[in-house]
Every structure is written in C-alpha cells, then in structure tokens.
Structure 1
Amino acid sequence: MKKALLILILILQFSSFAQNKQLLYNFTSIPQSSLVNPGADVSYKYYFGVPLLSGVSANIGSNSFSAYDLFADNGVDFNDKVRNIINKSSANDKTQVNQQLEIFSGGFRVGGVDSQSYISFGAYQEFDFLMYFPKDMAILALDGNQNYIGKSFNLADVNVRAEVLSVFHVGFHKKVSKKLVLGGRAKIYSSGANATSTKNSGYIYTGQGTGTNMYTQIIESNLELKTSGISKFTKDEYEGSIPKDIAHNTFLNGSLGLGFDAGLTYYIQDNLQFTASILDVGFIRQSKDIETLTYKGTYRYDGVNPNFDAVNEPKNIFDEFDAAIPRDTLYNKYTTWRPIKFNSSIQYSFGESRYDGECNCKGSSERRYLNAVGAQVFARTMPKEPYVALTAFYKRSIFEKLDFKATYTVDTYSFTNLGLGLSGTLGKFNIYGLVDNVFQYRDITKAKSLAFQFGLNFIFQDPKY
C-alpha cells in the first residue's frame, strides 16, 4: 500500500506544467488568442470554431524528474529510484495540470459597417490540478520514523486542489481609438467536481524518552479535505457511471460561480505595441454534494514503541488515537477562488509590407509588418507563492495567410523551453498548431515538460480592416 501511494504521488508529479499559453498570447491570426487577452487587436466580420476541435490544449511535465528517472531499465532497484527521487525533490516542487477543450466558440462585429466593436462567445471544459510534493509524508511512508528520531514531519506538505468545470463566456472588444483597444469577458463557471485541501498544518514527531526503547510520539493534526460533487461516488449504494455523472454535473448542473477577464492593447508607436490581460478573476460557490472531512486534535504517546501486530494488537492505543484526533464530517458550503492569471507583453514590429488580399488577421492598423520581436511575462496565483514565467518571442508572416511564431521561455521548470507555432488560412478555413518544449521530443521519456494546442476555425474577414 505504501509503495502504491508513493508511485501515485510520483506519477502525478509528471504532470507539472503551468497554464502559460505564451505561444497563443497575442498570436492574433488565431481567434482563440482573445481567450488569453480580451483586448487583443483583431478584426473580422465574424468567425466560428469547429465544435470540439476549435481549441484543444494539454500539458504535462515535471520540475524535478522525468519518467526515465523512475522507469529506466538501467539495473537500479525500483525502490532506490523512488528514494533518489524523493531525496532530490523539495516540498516546494509543484504539480500542475491543465487541460482545456473548447466546446463551441464564435464572434461577430456589432454596430454597423464602420464599427470596430465585436462580441465573442463560447464554452469550454477545463480540468485544473495543483499539488505540492508532500516530501515529509513520502519519506515517512517509505522509511517510517525509525531513522528520524527527533524529526518533525510537516503535515502542511499535504497541499492539493483539483477541479473539473465548464466555463460559459461572452466578451466585448472595441478599438476605442487608433492607439487603444479594450476588451472584457464575463464568465459563468459550473463545477462538476472539486477537491480542496490547502490549509493544513500540524506535525508527526517521535522523540527519545527516558530509558531503553522509551519514546515520546506526538501527532498534532489540523487536516481538512473539502469536496463538492464527489462524495456520492464513495457510497456503497452508488451504481452509476462516474465519468457520465461528472460530465452531467459539469455543464450547468454543478456548483456555480462568476468571473471576468479584461485586457488591452496600446500602440505606443505604429510599430511598438504594449498588451496586458488579467484572467479568471472569479469564484465558485461549492454547494452541490458537499462534504468536508477533518482530522483535528493532538495525540501523545509515551512509552515503549508499540508492536502493531495481530498478536499484540494495541486496541486501547487505537481507541485513544481516535478519541484524540477524531474524523468529523461536515456539510457546509464553501467558496473556491479561481487561480488568477496575468499576461503582459511588449512587441516591436519591423519590415513594413502592404497586403492586397482579402484577409488581415493581424489587427486593423493601416501599416502591416512582416516581423515582430518582443517579450512577455506570465504570472499565476498559487497557495504558497506565485508562478512566474518570462518569454522572448519572434513572429513572422511567411505568406499572406501563413504566420509563424517562436518562443523561448524561462520558468521554474525549464531554462530551455523552445516553442513553435503555425497558423494558416486556406480560403475561410483556419488551422493552427502550437508545440512547447520541442527539444524534449527527441526522447519524451526524459522530458520534464510537454505541451501542445491546436484548433480549427472559419474566419470571415472584412477586407477594409
């Protein structure tokens, strides 16, 4: 059981990659770029995405080890591999998983032929997971406390949250002047399942007592797990399908919440552009199928280290432990806040060109540029400290309807993250593909992070913009 728990923790660590979409950000030939900046400078008559295929993204990675470290056929004992991974990991190592699937999307111009105001709308499904590596608990599960007399194992290392939800949104975007574009988006969240355990504290301590084999063992516990939309699946009488029931709850049948995005684009000069956006400022009121489990209290044992076997079962010790740190179940509603994300970039364009064709997806500025370079910063709120990433990028219009973007990103997971993206339009049909960490594809077993996005859209452009 201990080994199974450790393997589960380590496998989850493979999925640690923040929701940074630096390739999509300000890649304005892709309509979905407005999802990461509602104030992106795009213009169109209207567009609509191919249902279920307009925006698909997934990411996986680890900031401390790779699959190769755990499963390599190199003659090293598996238990030693696990121990090496735990020893080199820290309690600040994070597991982050984010997956999104756009259900439908669209947008259209409002206000007449000369208007530069647009409305966009859509819905997407999202899975979001965050876990800090519980190093002290992993050591205790693997080695026990025999070699750690005098050490306190920190229960605050248990820090995890996960959610499956859908997001329905509508946005408004307007070019208010030649220099300034503003945009905002309202969101309705529907949470199908949520688990949150992020405010834990306490410790497990074993100290040397007086005399041979005499010990003092103290457990100070303040553990809490809040769940919504999950508890019915653990009941013996449940006979349904968990995936189907979670999917049913996710689309406006679960706990509801509200949020908003906001963004802008400002032209300092015709070829010098500043952008910024803030995303997912919102909350969900968890109110459906709610259950909170708590283990709170203090247990102290003084004496000979107990022998927990079938012959000498210390029933009185278990009874004392249950009385000192009881398991309580509460049914109170609770509020979860969405992880807020911030983007900002500065972009310098050069290589002026004029397009004679129908499509212009780069914005409505009169001047067109073939090249652009710049820098972007991304930040996301987390329970312990914010995640921050810095990106340098280069964009190029290869042909009139084929655009290329390359990014180089530095964050806590990698200093060698090179990303490549293409967006092409054939007639009205737009297809795009974005891939992060391309160097890692040489041997994905040694990869510490991988990410991709792709989508299909139909874009109907106004030739005058």
Structure 2
Amino acid sequence: MRLKITYIAVLISVFGMSQNKELLYDFNDLPQTLHQNPGALVAFDKHFGIPLLSQFHLNVGSSGVSAYDIFKDDGIDINTKIRNAIFSLSNRDYFTFNQQLEIINGGWRKDETTYFSYGMYEEADVIFYFPKELAVLLWDGNADYIGQSFSLGDVNLKGEVISVLHFGINKQLNKKLTIGARAKLYSSIANVNSRNNSGTFTTRESTTGDNVYEHVFQSLDGKVQTSGLASLLGDDNSDFSEDIKTLRKRVLFGGNLGLGFDVGFTYQPKEQHVITGSLLDVGAIFHSKDVESYHLNGSYTTEGLELVFPPLLNEDGTTPYWQNLEDEFDESIQIDTLKSKYVSWRSTKFNASYRYNFGKKNDEDCDCYAGRKPYQNGIGLQLFSIFRPRQPQFAVTAFYYRRLFDFLRLKFTYTVDDFSYHNIGLGASMHIGSFNMYLMGNNLSELQNISRAQSVSLQFGINLIFDSNE
C-alpha cells in the first residue's frame, strides 16, 4: 500500500499543467501559444516539438501562507507558527499543484489562411481548499469551544491526472480577424473529488444530566468520489508491474474518457491594436471504470462512556465499553461504499487581452509576434479566470514584449492574483534557424528566498519551427 501511494504521488509530480500561463499567452513566436488561444496569429509554416521536451510546466501555489511563514528562523516555536497560520487562513484559501508534460506537438500550414495543429500531453491538477473549522478542531481540540459547531462543509477538494489528445484548426478570415478551435479527447488516469458536504460536530452541555457534556454529530452528509484509485490501492499483494501496465493503458486512452474543446480569436481593428480572447477546456469526463465512492450519512449524540455497575463482562472478564460505543456509532452514522458512475467537469479557463504594437523596423518584413507586421515592441493587459469548485479565480497581467536582433524575443509580465500583488515574470525565446528553445518563470522578485513566494511557476521547451519567409 505505501509503495503504491508513493508511486501515485510521484506520478502526479511528473505529469501536469499550470493554469494561468501569462508569459506564454499571446507569445506568438511559440507554437505552444495555440494551446492558450487556438485563434492566435500564426506566422510560421510548420512546427514540430521535440517529444517529451517541447513543453514542461510546473506550478505550485498557496493563496494564504508561504513556507517561509512556517519555517523562518525567528525564535518563535514552530507549533505557534502553525497555529497562527491556521487561524489566519479562511475556508476560501486554497493550495494548488499543477503541471504539464507535452508528449508530442506539431502543426502545418494548409494554405495562407489555414493552419492545423495536433498533439498529446499529460496534465495533473489539484486544488485543496483549507478546511478552516475542522483544522481548528483538530489542532485545539474541543475544550475551548463548548457550544460551537464545526462544519463538514469546509471540506472541498479536486484532483485529477489525465492524458489529452487534441487537434486544432486556425483560420484567418480576413486581415482583421483570425479564429481557431481545438477538439480534445480526455483519458482519466486518476480522479478524486469531494464537495457539497454538510453537517456539524458540536460539544455542548448535557441535556440529560447523565454527564457534563454531550457530543453531537448533526446531519452529516459527505461524499468522496474516486476513479482509477481503488484497483491500485485496494490490494496490498498485487503485482506492482501490473499497476504500471494499468497506468500506461490509461495514458493511452484506456481509462475513463471525456470530450472537450477550446475556442479563441484575434481581432485587429487597426494595424497596431490587437484584441484576443479564448475559452479553454470546456468539457467533461465520464467516470464508469474502477469507480469507488464513499458516502458518510447520519446523526449521532453521545455523552461518552457510561459505566455500568455491576459491569456487564465479556468472556475474558472485561467490559465492552468501547465496542458498545463503536456499535452505536456505526448504527447511527452510515459509511457506504458506492460503485455509481459520475461526471467530472473540467476547470474551464478564460483569457482576454489587449496589445498595442509599436517600433516599426523598416529593414525587415516579418515580425512573428505581430503576425508578419514590422513592429518590434508590444505592451498590453491580459485578464485570466479559471472556474473552480468554490468560486472563480482571477488574475490581471500587464506585459511588455520586445524582439531583440533576429534570434531573441523577450516578454516581461507583472501579475496581480490571489497569490501575490507583485509577481514579476520573464520569458525568453531563442531562435537559431529552425531551432527554438524557450524558458519562462515568474516571481523573480522572490528568487533570493524562494520560500517566501506563495506561488512558483516554471516552463521550458524545445521546438523546430519552419518559416519560408525567414
């Protein structure tokens, strides 16, 4: 069991994708920008991503606390710092892990106005909302909270590992408008989610007088849905090599399947003004294989152990107090294992941006960023949103693009989101002939002490990009 859990944790840490790619969005020198906007301007004729190296992206974030807040050397006891962190967070704070590894990626131009692209990638996405009331109860206990109810409704999480096969088309309708769409086939490797839970736990003064306090589990109703995990975790004696075969099969679309799509556009009302927008991962996965869900339901009130005199003895001469309490709890609070099918919706993402291009270079006919327009600079704003289980998350980014020489293109960003009000990012793309390599990272202001950062994002990749105009 321990080995399997470790393996799944490693799997999640190796495959996945970041949500807000503000450095990559509208970076039209790179074919990967088509994943962020299928309707982006495409200035090249063909591209091919180096398998397993065309894009790797890692993102980890915490909306309310950083590692530095807990582990900084300030003379304060770590238990005190953990307690302070617990009480400073709310049930709207969350922790995220997201990552992507691109397996294959390519594309070609059909004609002057049409570009096709295709690919496959692995994606993992985990979001865990902080269960404030339960965390306080577990840390402090109930002694100081007599009469206060602790809600199960704070429990809200979603995690998935999937593979995605996709095909896109990019079409320039006229000199002002370019549109695009991408179809996606999802294969779920593993999924777990829990939301819409309810019920409370309360310790209060006894209403019967048989004891000082009574503990009340009131109207508990909680569910955890899983797929792809029961077969991996249920049998401690199963062959580990068989588990790897199972995971490989799911990667190659032998798991629970789903469908989705992306759409996007680029509109140029005037030559130097560019407006873009995209809607990504509109779709769902239908879980029917290896499904196992756990449903907690019921109410129960206890005043603790009630001693019986003379005691009712077991055959070994002991009193079955704990067994009696356990039996009463099991009769009142039902924990059922279900095999019912369910649907998980993808976390849909929205992007929009405005860019102003300037700095015409008269001795060059092509600027890949501006879509074959002779402008070397661009400034603008981007809005990002992702739909999450509890509420949408937003980010606003100001950016500056600069093309240096014939081989280096840079993008600087300043992002405000749930994690930071001073997130500075830098992306660089190097082009030597058909060879392209890029590297992007954010929160550069925290590089001296990365533990202070509440989010960290890194992406890099290698492509072959062919353009007959260069």
% identical aligned pairs: 43
Matches within 5 A, 1:383-398: 383-398=389-404
Mapping for residues 341-380 of structure 1, pairs under 5 Å = 341-354=349-362, 356=364, 360-365=367-372, 367-380=373-386
Query: CA RMSD for the aligned pairs?
Result: 2.1
List per-residue Cα deviations over 1:227-266 (Å, max 9, x = no partner): 1010012223423255664343232111000000000000
What is the one-letter code of the residue matched to 2:334?
A: P
Q: Tell me, yes or no, if structure 1 residue 329 matches structure 2 residue 328.
A: no
User: 1:214, 1:304 within 8 Å by CA — same for their partners in 2?
Assistant: no
Question: What is the identity, as a one-letter code, of the residue corresponding to 1:444?
Answer: I
Aligned to 1:428: 434
Shift of 1:168: 0.4
Corresponding residue number in structure 1 for 2:154: 157
Offset, 1:18: 6.7
Alpha-carbon shift at residue 354 of structure 1 (Å) = 3.8
Gaps of 5+ in 2: 1-11, 308-317
Shift of 1:68: 2.1
1:350 deviation in Å? 0.9
The structure 2 residue matched to 1:143, chosen from 130, 140, 143, is 140
Measured after TM superposition, the shift of residue 203 of structure 1 is 1.1
Mapped partners of 2:319, 2:459: distance in 1: 58
Of residues 306, 317, 326 in structure 1, which corresponds to 2:325?
Answer: 317
The gaps in structure 1 that reach 5 residues or longer are: 1-11
SS state at 2:44 partner: coil
Matched residue, 2:204:
207
1:192 aligns with 2:189: yes
User: Please, which moves more after superposition, 163-172 or 216-225?
Assistant: 216-225
- Of 194-203 and 238-247, more deviation after overlay is shown by 238-247
**1:278 is aligned with what amino acid?**
L
CA distance in 1, matches of 2:37, 2:19: 14
1:86 aligned residue:
86
Distance 1:228 1:213 in 2: 44
How many pairs align?
441
Query: Are residues 1:129 and 2:126 paired?
Result: yes
Aligned to 2:9: none
SS in 1 for 2:240: coil
Residue number in structure 1 paired with 2:247: 246
Conserved 8 A contact 1:193-1:250: no
- Counterparts of 1:241-280 in structure 2, within 5 Å, are 241=241, 242=243, 245-280=246-281
Cα drift, residue 327 of structure 1: 1.2
Distance 1:304 1:371 in 2: 72
Equivalent pair of 2:430/2:436 in contact (CA under 8 Å): yes
Q: Does 1:174 align with 2:168?
A: no
| SS at structure 2 position matched to 1:221 | strand
How far apart in 1 are the matches of 2:24 and 2:18?
A: 14
Correspondence for 1:230? 229
Give, as a single letter, the amino acid of the residue that structure 2 aligns with 1:340: T
> Residues 354 and 175 (structure 1 numbering): CA distance in 2 closer, same or farther, change over 3 Å?
farther
Q: What's the CA shift for 1:351?
A: 1.0
- Kindly state the Cα deviation for residue 448 of structure 1 after the two structures are TM-superposed: 1.4
Q: CA deviation at 1:462?
A: 2.5
> Which of the numbers 439, 451, 454 marks the counterpart of 1:448?
454
**What is the identity, as a one-letter code, of the residue corresponding to 1:126?**
E
- Worse overlay, 348-357 or 375-384: 348-357
